[in-house]
Amino acid sequence: MAEPAKIFISSAADERLSRLREGIHTELQTMEHNPQMYEKDFGPWPPQELVQNCLDHVLRCDIFLLFVAQKAGSYNDEYNATVTHCEFQKAHHNNKYIIVFVEDYIYNLFWNDLRFTIGEMVEDYKKVHGNLDSYRDIAEAAWNIHPETSKSIDSYVWAFLYDIYQKGYYFEQMSMAVDGIKTIKKYFSDLFRQGSQYLALQNDIDEQIKEGPTYRKHAEFASKMIEYLQNGELKDPRMFLEYLQRFLKKGTVYNKPGTVFEKTLGEYESCSGSTLYKKDDRQLRLIAASGMASGDNEFYNLDDPYSFVVQAFNSSNPELFFGEEKRQFYLALKSGNYVICFHYPVDSFWTEENVQLFKVDIMRDIMETEPALFRDFAIRLLGGIKQ
């Protein structure tokens, strides 16, 4: 079922804008949108919650239409801003789609003159006092010395516009003598055009959003792993292995995945331990061990034909071995002068015969699932360490 867009219409209580606001509200309803306008779609009651009521409606809207003319509106001491300014801030901080219309005379005064004056005064203030909480007093001072100063224009309007300008929003000039509704219709047509382009990419966008937490986790992992390097050397090998081990989770091995003949073969548990060996002359010496890995073998001779650590060192590919007694997969990989071996406990399905029969399936699952990204990053780091 189609859901109409909620469109919040925001402006100060300015007689010059009353007719325009009413016309826009009516037109939006005709277009089957759901306009939200103060004193028309929601009221000022209870009076003590007037501002919060407005902000709640802003939060629920999809699009925020702002109209700025000569009046700034009611100033709220609690928020240190006008109600209209509060509404804009709420829309901005909640990433609403904001369209700003400014009366042409006000626009020209601000854009061609006052934005520069206020900007210079703000910089002068910051040099002496530091940060600035509000542009209100500076905007008032700038307006008082302006040659076209007039009491018919509230000085706070300039503070409001300067804040909007600093936040990077585009101002659309609006003439009271021209049909503003036609301009707004053009905006909505362009918005529909832009939206159609994003809808075509919706699946890709949804996928990127879904993967966002994973990307953050990878970034945090990479940052932490790099901390274990100092001057091109591994400064705490055991902690390097311990941290990496946390990310090597359990998995399921499938035969013929993605086909009508897909079958679950068995599982392996999260990595229970790991060992790190480094070439030292004609031996591979144990550098560190983590988790349940005992590290009983402190070294292997490079001509040892029975050591899977040596076999992995002499291979250009990852090597998988199976220990029947301890019921574990051993995944060993070479990187530079190092060999790192990961231990994965397995379920009862796995025997020496089944491991050999389905070795391709085991390697595919271990080497291509998400934990492999963490393991591969660590392997590359090892390969870049000074030899």
Q: Let me know if domain 231-383 sits in CATH 3.30.450.
A: yes
Q: Which amino acid is at 242?
A: E
Q: For residue 79, is pLDDT > 90?
A: no
Q: For residue 387, is pLDDT > 60?
A: no
95: left (phi over 0), alpha (psi -120 to 50) or beta: left
- Pairing of the two strands 273-280 and 263-268: unpaired
**Average pLDDT value for the chain:** 88
pTM of the model: 0.59
pLDDT of residue 3: 86
Q: Which range (103-112, 177-186, 317-326) has the least confidence? A: 177-186
Q: Judge if 6-200 and 231-383 fold alike in CATH terms.
A: no
Give me the residue spans of the domains in the chain.
6-200, 231-383
Taking the domain 6-200, which CATH number applies? 3.40.50
Task: Read off the pLDDT of residues 28-46 as tens digits, 9 standing for 90 and up.
Answer: 999 899 999 988 888 766 7
Question: 157 falls in which pLDDT band (50, 70, 90)?
Answer: very high
